[in-house]
């Protein structure tokens, strides 16, 4: 009896294990998706027959809604399979897979730019949207506002034909492709005009006050200038991303500029007995102003080696820089109010008549040209054509 009871218990255990195994195995291998096949080849997996049918109906509705002429030639098959959940498509993804593998031919349009085929698209209307999308990209990138006019300078044409549905490209992808290709070879030219506003500094003017309070050659800043600011509207015409024409269309002052005010001295320093000149060259004085050998020596001689620099003794205008029989190479500077300085016997002059010079600016080099016994600078100061002693006015 015990043996019989034991056999029954073992049989029950085996049966239970077998049932459990079969149940578990079914759960593991039970189909959880549908494989969508085209010409016997799996093109994707979808959750249910309902999802598949919806995707197929959506594709058919898309074809019927967007194309006036079509030939529904697609044949898809499905079978139950077991796959990881990550491989199962959504309804929208399944619809896209069906579209990409569709052999249905529809009446569509080839978009051509200047005779070059760019893409196959749904229709001319879709092509116009694509061109508008490209135009919008360049307009937004330009930063212009108040767009006045947009023109497509390239020739846009369309060729209608029956094409496989899978060859038709989405508008947004065609827009991106045109923009990318345009950067390399100017595939399409789009012209547009608009306004760009810029902030521009207003440079301060300089107002000069002439005053006898200071001697000639004195310049004193009475008021520092300050730049102003204005908004300037520019009407800009662009082709794609390049500016072709830019012109001012208007402006508005935000902050007024403040003039710089300078006082320029008019007092004659010679008549006032004021020292106002810089020493024109290095070296010692070898001959002074006054009579010598029965004749008036109208200046002072400064002994120096040939090639020693000579500098303007004060601000002024080069009256002449030319040859003089007695002075040799002679530079004459006018300082206003009848005051002149002369630099004689130079070896080389580096200024020209009419040139403005500043005190301390290089004008020539020491030499021994003209009536000279050796290299030196003959320096004169004149008032209204009459020579005066330069030493009184050298600082």
In the chain, pLDDT over 70 holds for what percent of residues?
A: 91
Q: How far apart are CA 57 and CA 49, in angstroms?
A: 12
Would you say residue 75 has pLDDT above 50?
yes
Q: What's the confidence (pLDDT) of residue 66?
A: 80
The stretch 211-233 carries a mean pLDDT of: 92
Burial zone of 236 (CB within 10 Å; 0-12 exposed, 13-18 middle, 19+ buried)? buried
CB 375 within 8 A of CB 306: yes
91-100 helix and 49-66 helix, angle to the nearest 10 degrees: 60
Q: What is the pLDDT of residue 369?
A: 98
pLDDT for position 15: 56
User: Which range is least confidently modeled, 162-166, 341-345, 369-373?
Assistant: 162-166
User: Span 114-131, mean pLDDT?
Assistant: 93
Whole-angstrom distance, CA of residue 297 vs CA of residue 290: 5
C-alpha–C-alpha distance, residues 55 and 120, integer Å: 23
At 258-310, the pLDDT tens digits run: 999 999 988 999 998 999 899 999 999 999 999 988 899 999 999 999 999 99
Domain 284-393 = CATH 2.70.70.10: yes
Domain assignments of the chain as residue spans, ordered by start: 33-103, 108-192, 196-265, 284-393
Least confident of 98-107, 283-292, 350-359, 386-395: 98-107
Name 190's bridge partners: 152
Write out the H or E segment, with its range, that includes residue 93: helix 91-100
Query: What confidence category does residue 9 fall into, taking pLDDT thresholds of 50, 70 and 90?
Result: low
Please tell me the distance from the alpha carbon of residue 195 to that of residue 150, in angstroms, as a whole number. 13
Q: According to the model, what pLDDT value does residue 25 have?
A: 45
Residues 303-360: tens digit of each pLDDT: 999 999 999 999 999 999 999 999 999 999 999 889 999 999 999 999 999 999 999 9
CATH of domain 196-265: 2.20.230.10
Please tell me the pTM assigned to this model. 0.55
Least confident of 9-23, 159-173, 234-248, 294-308: 9-23
pLDDT at residue 227 tops 50? yes
With a pLDDT cut of 90, the percent of the chain lying above it is 66
d(CA 30, CA 234): 71
pLDDT range class, residue 2, cuts 50, 70, 90: low
């Amino acid at each position: 009896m015990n043996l019989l009871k034991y056999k029954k218990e073992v049989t029950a255990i085996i049966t239970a294990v077998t049932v459990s195994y079969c149940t578990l195995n079914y759960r593991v291998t039970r189909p959880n998706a549908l494989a969508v096949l085209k010409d016997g080849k799996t093109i994707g997996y979808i959750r249910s027959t309902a999802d598949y049918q919806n995707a197929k109906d959506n594709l058919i509705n898309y074809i019927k809604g967007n194309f006036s002429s079509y030939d529904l030639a697609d044949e898809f098959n499905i079978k139950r399979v077991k796959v990881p959940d990550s491989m199962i498509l959504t309804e929208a993804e399944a619809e896209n897979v069906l579209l990409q593998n569709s052999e249905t031919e529809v009446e569509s349009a080839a978009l051509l730019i200047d005779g070059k085929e760019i893409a196959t698209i749904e229709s001319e209307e879709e092509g116009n949207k694509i061109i508008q999308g490209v135009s919008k990209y360049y307009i937004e990138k330009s930063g212009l506002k108040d767009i006045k006019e947009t023109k497509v300078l390239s020739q846009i044409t369309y060729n209608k034909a029956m094409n496989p549905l899978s060859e038709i490209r989405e508008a947004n992808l065609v827009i991106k492709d045109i923009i990318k290709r345009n950067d390399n070879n100017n595939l399409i030219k789009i012209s547009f005009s608009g306004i760009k506003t810029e902030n521009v500094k207003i440079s301060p003017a300089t107002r000069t006050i002439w005053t006898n309070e200071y001697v000639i050659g004195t310049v004193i800043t009475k008021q520092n200038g300050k730049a102003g600011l204005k908004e300037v509207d520019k009407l800009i015409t662009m082709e794609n991303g390049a500016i072709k024409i830019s012109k001012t269309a208007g402006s508005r002052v935000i902050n007024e500029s403040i003039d710089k005010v300078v006082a320029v001295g008019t007092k004659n320093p010679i008549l006032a007995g004021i020292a106002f000149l810089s020493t024109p060259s290095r070296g010692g004085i070898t001959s002074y102003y006054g009579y010598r050998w029965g004749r008036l020596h109208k200046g002072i001689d400064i002994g120096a080696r040939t090639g020693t620099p000579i500098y303007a003794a004060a601000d002024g205008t080069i009256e002449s820089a030319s040859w003089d029989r007695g002075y040799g190479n002679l530079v004459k500077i006018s300082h206003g109010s009848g005051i002149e300085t002369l630099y004689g016997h130079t070896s080389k002059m580096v200024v020209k008549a009419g040139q403005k010079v500043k005190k301390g600016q290089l004008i020539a080099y020491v030499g021994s040209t003209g009536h000279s016994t050796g290299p030196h600078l003959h320096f004169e100061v004149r008032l209204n054509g009459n020579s005066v002693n330069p030493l009184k006015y050298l600082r």
